[in-house]
């Protein structure tokens, strides 16, 4: 486009996408680090999920268990246990 011929670069921004091996977040405590809880790996979807995740994490931290939603499937140890989320339509699918 001719109108961009003399355009210059003003600034840049990068927003890394964090994903886990199974493309699902890690929610809950980390083994071996008492009192350390994670809510990470949302692949750019954390903002829209934050109200529900915040409530569930608050329940887990203050009451010892999330009652709004079961966070067990999102535990950190699922990777070592080989219990990753599986796509409904086979390997490589994200559904």
Of 31-35, 42-46, 68-72, 90-94, the one with minimum mean pLDDT is 90-94
- Find the distance separating the first CA and the last CA of the chain, reported in whole Å: 40
pLDDT range class, residue 29, cuts 50, 70, 90:
very high
Structure tokens at 26: 């890690």
Q: Residue 43: what are its φ and ψ, rounded to 5°?
A: 55, 40
What is the tens place of the pLDDT at every residue in 46-93? Answer: 889 999 999 999 999 999 999 999 999 999 999 999 998 887 776 555
Tell which residue, 71, 78, 86, has the closest CA to residue 27: 71
* Euclidean distance between CA atoms 6 and 79, whole angstroms: 51
Structure tokens at 74: 């999102």
């Amino acid at each position: 486009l001719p109108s961009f011929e003399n355009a210059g670069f003003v600034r840049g921004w990068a927003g890394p996408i964090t994903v886990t091996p199974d493309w699902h977040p890690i929610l809950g405590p980390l083994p071996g680090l008492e009192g350390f809880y994670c809510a990470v790996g949302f692949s750019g979807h954390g903002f829209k999920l934050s109200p529900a995740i915040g409530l569930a994490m608050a329940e887990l931290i203050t009451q010892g268990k999330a009652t709004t939603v079961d966070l067990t499937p999102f535990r950190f140890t699922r990777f070592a246990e080989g219990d990753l989320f599986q796509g409904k339509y086979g390997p490589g699918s994200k559904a």
